[in-house]
Amino acid sequence: MNKERDSETTFKEDSQPNDEVVPYSDDETEDELEDQGPAVEPAQNRVNRESEERRETFRKECTWQVKANDRSFHEQPHFVNTKFFCIKESKYASNAIKTYKYNAFTFLPMNLFEQFKRAANFYFLVLLILQAIPQITTLAWYTTLVPLLMVLGITAIKDLVDDVARHKMDKEINNRTCEVIKDGRFKVTKWKDIQVGDVIRLKKNDFIPADILLLSSSEPNSLCYVETAELDGETNLKFKMALEATHQYLQRESSLATFDGFVECEEPNNRLDKFTGTLFWRSMSFPLDADKILLRGCVIRNTDFCHGLVIFAGADTKIMKNSGKTRFKRTKIDYLMNYMVYTIFVLLSLIASGLAIGHAYWEAQVGNYSWYLYDGEDSAPSYRGFLNFWGYIIVLNTMVPISLYVSVEVIRLGQSYFINWDLQMYYPEKDTPAKARTTTLNEQLGQIHYIFSDKTGTLTQNIMTFKKCCINGQIYGDHRDASQHNHSKIEPVDFSWNVHADGKFVFYDHYLIEQIQSGKEPEVRQFFFLLAICHTVMVDKIDGQLNYQAASPDEGALVNAARNFGFAFLARTQNTITISELGTEKTYNVLAILDFNSDRKRMSIIVKTPEGSIRLYCKGADTVIYERLHQTNPSKQETQDALDVFASETLRTLCLCYKEIEEKEFEEWNKKFMAASVASANRDEALDKVYEEIEKDLILLGATAIEDKLQDGVPETISKLAKADIKIWVLTGDKKETAENIGFACELLTEDTTICYGEDINALLNTRVENQENRGGVYAKFAPPVHEPFFPPGGNRALIITGSWLNEILLEKKTSTTKILRLKFPRTEEERRFRTQSKRRLEAKKEQRQKDFVDLACECSAVICCRVTPKQKAMVVDLVKRYKKAITLAIGDGANDVNMIKTAHIGVGISGQEGMQAVMSSDYSFAQFRYLQRLLLVHGRWSYIRMCKFLRYFFYKNFAFTLVHFWYSFFNGYSAQTAYEDWFITLYNVLYSSLPVLLMGLLDQDVSDKLSLRFPGLYTVGQRDLLFNYKRFFVSLLHGVLTSMILFFIPLGAYLQTVGQDGEAPSDYQSFAVTIASALVITVNFQIGLDTSYWTFVNAFSIFGSIALYFGIMFDFHSAGIHVLFPSAFQFTGTASNALRQPYIWLTIILTVAVCLLPVIAIRFLSMTIWPSESDKIQKHRKRLKAEEQWKRRPNVFRRGASSRRSAYAFSHQRGYADLISTGRSIRKKRAPLDEIIAEGNAEYRRTVES
């Protein structure tokens, strides 16, 4: 037992999952884990260990080498890999992005190859070859060639249009420009021509073309501010900073042109938050990390210009590595349709075999003894039967409808255009329409079970709004006038008295303005002064207007609110901060900034007023602030009650407090602070300890309430999707409290929801494992699996789990292994077998654990996964796909959602707000989350219903058409003689019955769009596959068989003993064929009229037009003129005019059509009367239900003590800019503008050339 326990991978039990941090990066390996201490090593393994360590050391070396301004270095032979035979490819990717599939030379062969990979297309190619063999064919070759060419042509044109669009998008991106050092000068270069090792210049608002090492910038200390919306959907700025050496020496063009630095770093990977490398330059080495790398897809902001060295280009960039594998997506109906086509192949083979055997028997019994049937060939009956087998394969080939796939593609294309043209999904503010970026998944939109949504930028606008506050126990923010009287309708506050107001801020409590201006309560002014001074926001002026740049939008919202209420933050230096207090400017000395981190959950600033007093101002989460308050705080309970009210309204809260500090006390504390600031080890812990000493005995001022503004219509959309039995899971990188707060705001969670957290889930799953082990035994594997629910029935439950707990529960947590397991080469066969068994046991345990987790999560009404990485998002989607076999949809807006979007059956990108990376990888895109309900409940449901109706009818009409040959074979010696004219067989699916069914597939709707949205329960038919499945397929098959029997046997009975009006018998084969064909065309076109729910002029015209077109073409093809021109191709001369002038024939056709349709009408009537579906009921009362029901937001239920779900800290997920401010690195010094630097560089270059 000890041996087994030592040899297996063991989890780090001592490290409890941390809810505050995002778990390890996606590509991290065990080699990157820190050693936990010396392990006991068996003596016999020492030799193997030493050789293994040598291999480990070599593998850990940085193998990606970049030489600045030296393209020839990267073209050396050892950087070139052999890709395929003699085709070689550089290790370094070019910067050109390629998403297209074809070019001018490869389009035709590749497209034809892809099309013939479809079983049906290849089958018809084989049929065409068979039809060229005279001994086999019973049909003209053109009966297959014409439809096949149409199918291949239409599909090829559609693929070409899609690929041309991809070419245009690639060309647009690849042809963007930036400046690159070439021949000693900066020259404008296209993105596609940038290579690894190039030195480039970027300007403000430029997109970054590759992953580059920041060398210098126009900002102090070569800071560079970037917006990462393309990567993570966040619009707040993040800063990067160059090395001191490159900042000092690489500012001018000449020095950048001669820069010859050499970088060794990690290979390309998908870790957005990590980078490890070394710069070797001027005989020195400089360590590189992620803070010095600018990633492709980000945008340069608030930085006039910057210079960088290209490290990774094109497909090697981190944003492209995060894109995940592009998966070819097909719908559930596609797979089902293929299986049904295979079923038809089997039926066709069985029927052809039976008829071939029948022909061999008939030849032996009748054909060989009938002198008038002798054809001059003395073949054996078995050989004739063999030839007839292939003859019947050809004759009955229309059982497999050749035009099925192309018709499906046309319908999907039309439905995609309807989505693009839907004005109710158009967002005018950003001029962004909905876009179906694929045409192959529309009907699957009507079958969604699970939606996986990002939060930031998808559910929310990523805009924080100051809504309410509590000052000295008094709540402000309601709709009331200056006299404290509440009004339901009131004008917003006029801030025109404030010269610094931004003009966009909206507030309705006039009483708060009265309090600020009157100064009756000093705490009110003190409150907003604290907001204006306690922060790490940067400020600059654009066109005379203040422009704030905050580490997070929360903090920006607080400073902006203070600005509008008369306390405007104007400027800061390393040691001072300037505030406008109701028009009076004052400058305060900043003595210390105590920055935020996820453990402290607060930040403080210590300032010295112009009067000489020292004060500490602090803001933070109520859970940490209340522990540090002075015992005598009169408004403590009132503020606590206000926090509960704010929490019930799903607002993000923050407590504000201050403290007077004596000069002596500060001096003593400052000594400790300075000592901790320069500590060489554990500096952060030392600083936190010093911060604790001063942040105590605080006086509470009040609390702020910020709204993380949801997009319009999010609660309504989630409510309707829930009624449609669609479960919504939120997957976000945000912290737990924030995600939980948004869950309540969008009504995914309610006050009566029981929330389960990671530790609860872990305990439940461990209990389940113990129960399974207790039930185990010798016969356990033979016992049927027991499906026990994790929760008792009833009750509304939700699951909130962090990424760290997710790894812990799913056994994805980073592992440490014993030395035995680290050995790659087992010494004996027994060791190898033992290790393999151990690995299998671990994999089985992991798989069972994942399945249990999915079962448990699916019992909850809502699931929120927070602090998750892009890889974890995709993993959660994949687990539900794998273990629930459910149709999934993922929706997001940033590059961190791309993997999830590609993993789900359907991916939706939010466009117009946070960049285009998610949109480019998505199947559908629009600007607002609320459009999702229309996409699914209207377009998705209609598409599913239309496609199901189309397929059922298509199979029916082809069975009815083809199986007439089967019945006819019993009367022609099983000779593979066709029952119709060849041209009728050719044109039946192409012209005579194609348009009505296409229009039904495009236009039909059981209920209107408004009623579809009002009754989301209608959506469940798609989730349960009720409208198209094997049962429905065999019903269509049976219907087709019965129709074909009626079409054949009624005309046959009518033709047995008949004489026309002129005494002639119209009972010839050609007249019989015309009669059956006419009855068939009328029947199938009237049948689609019965299947149509939504009648338009176009539908009616197509049905009667198809019948008229049939008769028109038939009379033309049966005319003497065309027979004279093509005597061998048109042999039914005069048949139509001769047969159809007989009233008897018309009576036969009418009787046949009536017998086919009347039972269908009767069954439909009984079904709608006795067993009406939900849509039947709504359709019956549609006029009464026409007025759309207005959605009402669920009223807030105030519960005392609701603070347990308050957002613990509103405004930052990482440290702010405090370090930059206190060191002075962010303070702008006067320096030459870009134009002047460029001019100096040009002059220097000319002097160099002249010399």
Active centre residues (catalytic): 454
Cα–Cα distance for residue pair 440/768, rounded to 1 Å: 41
Cβ of 834: how many Cβ atoms within 10 Å?
15
Cα–Cα distance for residue pair 64/67, rounded to 1 Å: 10
Region of 974 (left: φ > 0; alpha: ψ -120 to 50; beta: rest) is left
Buried b (16+ CB within 10 A) or exposed e, 489-515: eeeebebeebebbeeebebbbbbbbeb
Single out the residue of 193, 196, 116, 187 nearest to residue 156, CA to CA: 116
Cα–Cα distance for residue pair 19/34, rounded to 1 Å: 21
Single out the residue of 629, 700, 639, 656 nearest to residue 476, CA to CA: 639
Tokens of 1237: 């630097």
Single out the residue of 965, 973, 967 nearest to residue 359, CA to CA: 973
On whether the CB atoms of residues 982 and 143 are closer than 8 A, the answer is yes
Q: Burial, 551: exposed, middle or buried (Cβ in 10 Å; 0-12, 13-18, 19+)?
A: buried
HEC per residue, 622-651? HHHHHHHECCCCCCHHHHHHHHHHHHHCCC
Cβ of 402: how many Cβ atoms within 10 Å?
23
Cα–Cα distance for residue pair 186/178, rounded to 1 Å: 9
Strands (E), 191-321: 199-203, 211-217, 223-227, 237-241, 262-265, 277-281, 284-288, 293-294, 299-301, 305-312
In DSSP terms, 710 is beta-bridged to 460
- CA separation (Å) from 413 to 162, 441, 688, 1001? 11, 10, 61, 11
HEC per residue, 1124-1159? HHCCCCCCCCCHHHHHCCCHHHHHHHHHHHHHHHHH
Which residues, including other chains, have CB under 8 Å from residue 243's CB and lie 6 or more apart?
A: 215, 279, 286, 288, 292
On whether the CB atoms of residues 40 and 285 are closer than 8 A, the answer is no
Cα–Cα distance for residue pair 194/313, rounded to 1 Å: 8
Kindly give the interhelix angle for 1030-1055 and 941-969, rounded to the nearest 10 degrees.
40
Which residues, including other chains, have CB under 8 Å from residue 978's CB and lie 6 or more apart?
A: 138, 139, 395, 965, 985
Buried b (16+ CB within 10 A) or exposed e, 1191-1227: eeeeeeeeeeebbebbbbbbbbbebbbbebbbeebbb
On whether the CB atoms of residues 197 and 309 are closer than 8 A, the answer is yes
Tokens of 321: 């590595």
Query: Helix, strand, or coil here: 378?
Result: coil
Cα–Cα distance for residue pair 10/4, rounded to 1 Å: 11
Query: Helix, strand, or coil here: 237?
Result: strand
Cα–Cα distance for residue pair 689/691, rounded to 1 Å: 5
On whether the CB atoms of residues 966 and 1044 are closer than 8 A, the answer is yes
Tokens of 164: 């041309």
Residue type for position 953: Y
On whether the CB atoms of residues 742 and 460 are closer than 8 A, the answer is yes
Phi, psi of 312 (to 5 degrees): -125, 140
